[in-house]
Amino acid sequence: MKTTAIESDHRDQLLDRLAEARSMTDDLFRVVRTDALYNRPISERHRIVFYIGHLEAFDWNLIAGQALGLGPVREEFDRLFAFGIDPVGGGLPTDQPSDWPSLSEIEAYGIRVRQELERILTGSFQISSSSWQYSREIMLNVAIEHRLMHAETLAYMLHQLPRDQKIAPRSYRPLKPSHSPRPAFARMVDIPAGTVTLGISRGGESFGWDNEFEVHSIETPAFAIDVYKVTNGEFLKFIREGAYDDPRFWSDADWVWIKEQNICHPQFWRQRNGQWFYQAMFEELPLPLEWPVYVSHAEASAYTRFIGRSLPTEAQFNRAAYQTPEDIERAYPWGNASPDVGRGNFDFQRWDPVAVGSYPEGRSAFGVEDTLGSGWEWTSSLFEPFPGFEPFPFYHGYSANFFDGKHYVMKGASPRTGACMLRRSFRNWFQAHYPFVYASFRCVSN
């Protein structure tokens, strides 16, 4: 999947990209054994089967409903599968498998939605451009990126599903425990003071979600930033020195959370007989010390306090990743060339991280490595609207529902982030107490 939103606003390319995204999510559901589809691998989220219906209901409600004012395909399902859930510190869902329709009914609904959308978007019933209440290009980009975002968050969910309930795709190659020499960990690079641009302009070519607008500049004083993401090997020191039992390193809310939930190591780690192991997507392996550690915002923040540093702000991340010492802003850390597989561990090439420093071709002008790929990166910036923010009228809550002072911006990309979302302005966000995300971090010294 090499196409990006910038390159392809042509209609047929958008339809090709939608078809590509559909086959990506269809393949993903095939990873789950049929008898496990009504399971709930993460207690805060819906059962897996919800998402089979949701991806289709979303497309129908958006394109046919919001943009074209057409009636329902199957009203009950259009509504049942309309929205996911993201409770913050609230009650957990209590629905039972029997509360959901059968798999064959949900699949029939999905087929029907795709057939009807096909008629609308390409067939003899193609709608005239004046019938679109919102731009057709924006609608298709929203449908494509919404689906690809779910392809990623579903991977987090399926990661938590027991291995005997999953079937690795035929293309999967078992992970080989790495014996590569450890790179020079914890090396920092100085970034001089400068002006960094966040966001994109409404008049521009590129598609962006509501939270990416409007473009604006921020002055960043000089700082130093880690060349590499913090690794499992480095995080092990934090555990061995008892930091999960030392309230000095945790905010009050984070401390309450780890103690209530009995959290004493990263979600992806397992311990047996004094040995640490890593739960990868399809197998368990001895803890790969040189891989970036995946942790919640709470754990990342505690680690930075432990070593006397901080998480970068969103502006610091963009300055280190996308700017040059001459203050030129690049489209990507490596320059303006489109993303390709040699630049980073992104775009569904793998299911798990790789050792830090594996992609020198993706290095930023300041020499910072892996800013795109192998894990999103936590920032210290709360997820807030940029000046001039306006919610999408057809998807009002996409961002606005999360401007609650509890969600933090993540930048970069994980192994399961589609290439179209590698653009500089893209912002991801999660709450501080959700440990299932493919989220890494690096430290800054201010």
Direct distance between the N- and C-terminal alpha carbons of the chain, in angstroms, rounded to an integer: 38
DSSP 72-84: -SSHHHHHHTS--
At closest approach, how far in Å is the CB of 144 from Fe ion?
13
Binding region for Fe ion (CB under 5 A) out of 77-85, 340-348, 352-360, 377-385: 77-85
Contact range with Fe ion by CB under 5 A, out of 4-12, 78-86, 219-227, 267-275: 78-86
Residue 162 Cβ vs Fe ion, minimum distance, rounded to whole Å: 25
Please work out the total of residues on this chain that contact Fe ion, with binding judged by CB under 5 A.
Answer: 1
Q: Which CB atom, from 58 or from 366, has the smaller least distance to Fe ion?
A: 58
Residue 311 is classified by DSSP as: P
Q: Which C-beta is closer to Fe ion: that of 49 or that of 175?
A: 49
* Residue with smaller CB distance to Fe ion, 84 or 335: 84
Which residues, 82 to 141, sit near Fe ion by CB under 5 A? 84
Q: Contact region for Fe ion (CB under 5 A) — 76-84, 320-328, 352-360, 432-440?
A: 76-84
- The residues near 313 (Cβ < 8 Å, ≥ 6 apart) are 220, 379, 380, 381
CB within 8 A of 278, min separation 6: which ones?
232, 268, 269, 270, 284, 285, 286, 287, 288, 291
Cβ 388 to Fe ion shortest distance, Å: 25
- Closest by Cα among 243, 407, 238, 424 to 336: 424
Q: How far apart are CA 214 and CA 194, in angstroms?
A: 20
Which secondary structure element, helix H or strand E, spans residue 429, and what is its range? strand 428-431
Q: Among residues 407 and 442, whose Cβ is nearest to Fe ion? A: 407
CB of 378 to Fe ion, least distance (A): 22
Nearer to Fe ion, 55 or 419 (CB): 55
Shortest distance (Å) from residue 83 CB to Fe ion: 7
Nearer to Fe ion, 84 or 387 (CB): 84
Q: Which of 443, 379, 439, 370 is nearest to 409 (CA)?
A: 379
Site string for Fe ion, 340-359 (x = CB under 5 A): --------------------
Q: Are 382 and 409 in contact (CB under 8 A)?
A: yes
CB of 45 to Fe ion, least distance (A): 11
Helices (H) and strands (E) in the chain, counts: 10, 12
Q: Which residues bind Fe ion (CB under 5 A)?
A: 84
